[in-house]
Chains A and B, each alone.
Chain A
Amino acid sequence: MSTQSKGMSWVGRSIRRLEDPALVTGRGYFTGDLAAAHWVRFVRSPVAAGRIVKIGAPESAMVITAANLASVKPIAPLLHKFNYKPVAQPILADGVVRFVGEPVAAVVAASEQEAEDIADAVVLTIDETAAIVDGRAALAADAPQVHATVPGNVIVEGAHKTDGFDAAWARAHRIVTVEARSHRQNATPMEPRGGHAAYDAASGRITLTCATQMPHLMRTAIADLIGMAESDLRVIAPDVGGGFGQKMSLAAEYVLLVWLARQYKSSFAWREDRRENLIAGFHARDQYLTLAGAFDADAKLIALKADIIANVGAYSCFPTTAGIEPLMAMAELPGPYDFRHYECRARGVVTNTCTIAPYRGVSRPVNAFGLERLMDKAAAAFGLDVVEIRRRNLVDRFPYTTAYGLELDEASYRQTLDVVAKAIDLPAFRARQSEARAQGRHLGIGFATFCERTGYGTATFVERGMAITPGWETVVVSVDQSGLVEARIGASPHGQGLRTTLAQIVADELGISPDMIKVVHGDTDRAPYGWGTFASRSLVISGGATLIAARKVRTKLLKLASHILEAAPHDIVLEDGTAKVIGTDRSVPIATLAHEAHTQSHLYDGIEPGLTDEGFYDPPGTFSNACHVAIVEVDIETGQVKIEKFLVAEDAGRIINPMIADGQVHGGVAQGIGNALLEEIIYDDTGTILTASLADYLPPTARDVPEIDMHHLTTPSPNSVTEAKGLGEGGTIGAPAAVINAINDALVAFGVTIDEIPATPQRIRAALRNLSSPSPLWGAEKGGV
């Protein structure tokens, strides 16, 4: 990498990712690469609900069951609000199984193969009981109860109603309704989960290497459950092959590995296979969202009524709890729209299905799907175009307090809409659409305008009533005597490129090039305590803490340089690896300053030894925003949807590295397209999972994702010291709504509505077939189906 030329900022440049050379040449280091003395295979429940009668293990096999784990506490996260009913998840099923895939026993053997062979021979005798699979059905009075401690299966319930709601509702000129159904998904990271726990005889400590997004919290939680000193546990998150939220939740499997390593003073490893990941590696998105919007005569939304039913699965995920989906849905549903009255009921419902955990977007993909459908339906009802209805309803003054009470900081809701509307040329598309229709081809366009709450600190988690409030971050920046910089961070990137973007931030402060800066993360022995990487937080919070720490180091460097160069600090600049007196040829290398700081600080007044400082940041949060547009073609004979075009206008404030920002949007949109069209975890009525391989669970491939036309707007945030906003989840939030609106637009002539995602060809055909005259093909020629 070249050194920085004078006055040029590293921030804002698309430098190549510093982490990539190792990853793309096969030199990455993943949990699954580690050798172990013992391998663990989990025997998982084949039934959704039942009482364990017997666990029949082959003689001489080492098989761990709940009976061995009496001293280990169950996973039982707490929420202090919203009528939360705590549930306990034992590390291995303790007498009762509650979903297909729940770990019942752990087989330990010398190799993975052997462990799997033994696991195959373990015979489970389970008295099957009635299972409940669907979140809405679980609310029925006679539905089977998943937990004795959760009567009626409602584990958490939030409610909100603004003062004067009823009066506002009564003023409605028109009510528009949407019944949105989002089926269940799995985040499907490329690397499934996995852990490796090893005992160190010298120190008596355990090192757990695992595919996690939250190494410190894993340390805290596992030490607590096992009853060991936290300092005796080191957690390492090496290279992690994607997480998307699935890897922020505590895996019971990891607790068992640490317990084994401690109990038997050896090393134990588990590599989750794809089948396990699909059935038991946490699920997402399973919701019913019912909306009714009251609009005035000018098509302005005045009041919104919402009912949210979130199927949260069998247990409550740690640390975010089963409240994460329904409560975030309730809080953030109003999105970027300007209306004053809001009534919402949000329930989390337990069922005999895999536990739901956060997945990129968390509830907001469903929110945007429902709300954007509402806007399109309102547009049709009022005879407005889909851009105009949004223009009339988007927030345009800041800060703005939503009808739920969230404060929206400066954003560009209308501008992003205008940018894509102009780029797409809506009138031209409408002309093309009617020409195509005349030829029996069905094109549609869909818009989705949304905001994404990112980089929120402790206060947000307190507001949610969470016992654990993973808000702040700490970063320690050190300059060593060779002039190299280390930034040790509590965030735990796993693909986001933080080693690069944080280095860019430090580089500008210290006047050195990013390749001189090592970002150290994912090791609880090396990194300061922090909460890890999730919730589109790291660049804002960890990046903010990095900036604050780097500025402190910069101040000290300038102070030291001012002694050595005999100039005032404000006359000194840090650039090209040196401190220079402006307008002179006097300079001193930063490495020399670092050496002086470490060895000669006694010579300088007011300079303490060393060159290390810490930054702490706990921001209120900031909303990024975007508008997505999809153009699709629906094959009415097969129900197949092809995405012809996809546009994104994104505003995430100040962009540190545009290439990385684009990559985040691309990946998110790809997952959003999967959400809209393809990906669905399916259970049958007995709770047996039917999508246990990637032959049945269908993430989009490169051929299903079109090129994405990106537009950037920049509204810096006053709520972020770097002026950057998060953008990790936006792609997944907007894409499903845009695609589903486009499908509905394509089918408008048939009078059918698709408010279910994924909008599979089967579902689309079923809707069309219900309208059909005897033969769909003949009908198509006449303009029918």
Chain B
Amino acid sequence: MKPAPFIRHVPKTLDEAVRILGAVAAEEGRVLAGGQSLVPIMAFRLAKPAHLVDINEIAELGRMSNDGKMLRIGALVRHAAFHKPVVDNPLGHLLAAVARAIAHYPIRLRGTFCGSLAHADPSAEWCLVAATLDATLVAHSTRGARTIAARDFFQGIMTTALAEDELLAEVRLPLLAPDTRFGFNKFSRRAGDFAMSAALAVYRLQDGKMTDVHLGVGGAEPSPRRIPEAEAVLAGQAPGDTVFRAAAEAAAQAVEAMEDHQTSADYRRDLVRAVVRRALEQSA
């Protein structure tokens, strides 16, 4: 349970971090933020980075801001920062509801929002949020900065669109309209465990009808994503048990459920059905 030897770099600025990452990327260089996923993986020697670019002393990455349209979350913003709404907008409440489901308190004090996205565990709560809300991710490298849409970012289990020399410096989430309703539901064996399935339902309620429906499912497929089949069931309808069940069924049928030794695709679909309906019930 001791990691393989590595060199730790401690840059003070984003530019310096990117420069170092560019230099060490080819030699298994990795970015260290909260370390809540990377460090255990290193302890098991499943990852053996030769260099760690520790960004914890880069003050500019700890910032969170909103310009009235977007919430910008810097690479060092920890999960615990979202325990209380960070913005007086449905988005703040949504993030607070999700944050409490992430692992356990000590982990939330260290782990970061952006780190969770860069790690891209299929079951990660923030990945589900980013996918459902069509987040924009900002990657920096010595070649400059580029933005990546969430739907392009997640490319499979722990696989993202980030190049090996790119640092995920910021995530931008759109603020939500005041008439937005949301619901989140997660299933795990124990409180605080990785989700075996999770759903996030977000829509506007206009004239008693659901519009601008975003229905995301995580933990069921290699990457979280919006489920258009379920969104189509809901769009333009009034919230209610029948339509929620139909959307849940549509989501369960739509997912290409991951299987493992314990968990069959059928079971995973059972869970998708349950978490989608429960997320929708919570939203209503």
Asked whether A and B interact, the reply is yes
Distance from B55 Cβ to chain A, minimum over Cβ atoms (Å): 24
Q: Say yes or no: A117 contacts B245, CB within 8 Å.
A: no
Distance from A170 Cβ to chain B, minimum over Cβ atoms (Å): 44
In whole angstroms, how far apart are the Cα atoms of A159 and B242 in the complex?
A: 59
Q: Which A residues are in CB contact (< 8 Å) with B229?
A: none
Closest A residue to B191 by CB, please name it: A703
Distance from B278 Cβ to chain A, minimum over Cβ atoms (Å): 9
Q: Say yes or no: A701 contacts B192, CB within 8 Å.
A: yes
Q: Check if B4 is an interface residue, CB within 8 A of chain A.
A: yes
Q: Check if B51 is an interface residue, CB within 8 A of chain A.
A: no
Q: Check if A484 is an interface residue, CB within 8 A of chain B.
A: no
Q: Say yes or no: A762 contacts B249, CB within 8 Å.
A: no
One of A83-91, A279-287, A775-783 contacting the partner: A775-783
One of B92-100, B219-227, B257-265 contacting the partner: B257-265
Mark B155-196 against chain A: 1 for CB-CB distance below 8 A, else 0.
000000000000000000000000000000001011111100
Q: Which B residues are in CB contact (< 8 Å) with A635?
A: 274
Q: Which B residues are in CB contact (< 8 Å) with A769?
A: 266-267, 270
Closest B residue to A761 by CB, please name it: B189
Q: Which B residues are in CB contact (< 8 Å) with A273?
A: 1
Q: Say yes or no: A117 contacts B249, CB within 8 Å.
A: no
Q: Say yes or no: B1 contacts A760, CB within 8 Å.
A: no
Q: Say yes or no: B193 contacts A762, CB within 8 Å.
A: no
Q: Which B residues are in CB contact (< 8 Å) with A684?
A: 261
Q: Say yes or no: B262 contacts A762, CB within 8 Å.
A: yes
Closest A residue to B187 by CB, please name it: A638
In whole angstroms, how far apart are the Cα atoms of A701 and B105 in the complex?
A: 14
In whole angstroms, how far apart are the Cα atoms of A336 and B112 in the complex?
A: 55
Q: Say yes or no: A700 contacts B261, CB within 8 Å.
A: no
Q: Say yes or no: B189 contacts A698, CB within 8 Å.
A: yes
Q: Say yes or no: A703 contacts B190, CB within 8 Å.
A: yes
Q: Say yes or no: A117 contacts B189, CB within 8 Å.
A: no
Q: Say yes or no: A701 contacts B274, CB within 8 Å.
A: no
Q: Say yes or no: B262 contacts A682, CB within 8 Å.
A: yes
Q: Which B residues are in CB contact (< 8 Å) with A678?
A: 189-190
Closest B residue to A112 by CB, please name it: B2
In whole angstroms, how far apart are the Cα atoms of A777 and B253 in the complex?
A: 14
Q: Check if A515 is an interface residue, CB within 8 A of chain B.
A: no
Within 8 A of B (CB), among A692-707: 693, 695, 698, 700-701, 703-704
| Other-chain residue from A117, A120, A766 in contact with B264 (beta carbon distance below 8 A) | A766
Q: Check if A228 is an interface residue, CB within 8 A of chain B.
A: no
In whole angstroms, how far apart are the Cα atoms of A777 and B278 in the complex?
A: 12
Mark B30-64 against chain A: 1 for CB-CB distance below 8 A, else 0.
00000000001000110000000000000000000
Q: Which A residues are in CB contact (< 8 Å) with B270?
A: 637-639, 765, 769, 776
Q: Say yes or no: A682 contacts B194, CB within 8 Å.
A: no
- Give the dominant DSSP class at B's interface: loop
Q: Say yes or no: B2 contacts A682, CB within 8 Å.
A: no
Mark A759-771 against chain B: 1 for CB-CB distance below 8 A, else 0.
0111001100100
Q: Check if B79 is an interface residue, CB within 8 A of chain A.
A: no
Q: Which A residues are in CB contact (< 8 Å) with B40?
A: 693, 695
Q: Which A residues are in CB contact (< 8 Å) with B245?
A: 777-778
| Other-chain residue from A112, A682, A766, A777 in contact with B248 (beta carbon distance below 8 A) | A777
In whole angstroms, how far apart are the Cα atoms of A775 and B252 in the complex?
A: 11
In whole angstroms, how far apart are the Cα atoms of A703 and B193 in the complex?
A: 12
Most B CB atoms within 10 A — which of A637, A693, A769? A637
Q: Check if A563 is an interface residue, CB within 8 A of chain B.
A: no
Q: Which B residues are in CB contact (< 8 Å) with A776?
A: 270, 273
Mark B1-27 against chain A: 1 for CB-CB distance below 8 A, else 0.
110110000000000000000000000
Q: Say yes or no: B5 contacts A117, CB within 8 Å.
A: yes
Mark A188-200 against chain B: 1 for CB-CB distance below 8 A, else 0.
0000000000000
In whole angstroms, how far apart are the Cα atoms of A275 and B2 in the complex?
A: 12
Q: Check if B277 is an interface residue, CB within 8 A of chain A.
A: yes
Within 8 A of A (CB), among B198-256: 245, 248-249
Contact A698 B190, CB 8 Å, known A762-B264, A766-B264, A766-B267: yes
Contact A638 B271, CB 8 Å, known A693-B44, A769-B266, A778-B245: yes
Closest A residue to B5 by CB, please name it: A117
In whole angstroms, how far apart are the Cα atoms of A703 and B103 in the complex?
A: 13
- Residues of B in contact with A, size category: 20 to 34
Q: Which B residues are in CB contact (< 8 Å) with A778?
A: 245
Q: Check if A436 is an interface residue, CB within 8 A of chain B.
A: no
Q: Say yes or no: A701 contacts B271, CB within 8 Å.
A: no
Q: Say yes or no: A700 contacts B190, CB within 8 Å.
A: yes
In whole angstroms, how far apart are the Cα atoms of A116 and B48 in the complex?
A: 13
Distance from A44 Cβ to chain B, minimum over Cβ atoms (Å): 13
Q: Say yes or no: A113 contacts B273, CB within 8 Å.
A: no
Closest A residue to B268 by CB, please name it: A762
Q: Which B residues are in CB contact (< 8 Å) with A761?
A: 189, 267
Q: Which A residues are in CB contact (< 8 Å) with B190?
A: 678, 698, 700-701, 703-704
Q: Say yes or no: A775 contacts B249, CB within 8 Å.
A: yes
Q: Say yes or no: B2 contacts A777, CB within 8 Å.
A: no
Q: Check if A265 is an interface residue, CB within 8 A of chain B.
A: no
Distance from A779 Cβ to chain B, minimum over Cβ atoms (Å): 12
Q: Which B residues are in CB contact (< 8 Å) with A698?
A: 189-190, 193
Q: Which B residues are in CB contact (< 8 Å) with A693?
A: 40, 44
Contact A113 B264, CB 8 Å, known A638-B187, A701-B191, A777-B273: no
In whole angstroms, how far apart are the Cα atoms of A112 and B2 in the complex?
A: 8
In whole angstroms, how far apart are the Cα atoms of A776 and B248 in the complex?
A: 12
Q: Check if A552 is an interface residue, CB within 8 A of chain B.
A: no
In whole angstroms, how far apart are the Cα atoms of A334 and B89 in the complex?
A: 64
Distance from A592 Cβ to chain B, minimum over Cβ atoms (Å): 55
Q: Which B residues are in CB contact (< 8 Å) with A67?
A: none
In whole angstroms, how far apart are the Cα atoms of A693 and B1 in the complex?
A: 11
Closest B residue to A704 by CB, please name it: B190
| Other-chain residue from A117, A682, A765 in contact with B261 (beta carbon distance below 8 A) | A682
| Other-chain residue from A116, A637, A704 in contact with B2 (beta carbon distance below 8 A) | A116
Distance from A671 Cβ to chain B, minimum over Cβ atoms (Å): 15
Q: Check if A73 is an interface residue, CB within 8 A of chain B.
A: no
Distance from A723 Cβ to chain B, minimum over Cβ atoms (Å): 40
Q: Which B residues are in CB contact (< 8 Å) with A117?
A: 2, 4-5
Closest B residue to A273 by CB, please name it: B1
In whole angstroms, how far apart are the Cα atoms of A112 and B274 in the complex?
A: 47
Q: Say yes or no: B4 contacts A640, CB within 8 Å.
A: no
Given A275-B44, A638-B270, 14 more contacts at CB 8 Å?
A: A113-B5, A117-B2, A635-B274, A637-B273, A638-B274, A684-B261, A690-B261, A698-B189, A698-B193, A701-B190, A703-B192, A761-B189, A762-B264, A776-B270
17 A/B residue pairs, CB under 8 Å, sorted by A:
A113-B2, A117-B5, A120-B45, A684-B261, A693-B44, A695-B40, A698-B189, A698-B193, A700-B190, A701-B190, A701-B192, A703-B190, A704-B190, A762-B264, A769-B266, A769-B270, A777-B248
Nearest 6 A/B pairs, CB to CB = A273-B1, A637-B274, A113-B2, A703-B191, A116-B2, A638-B274
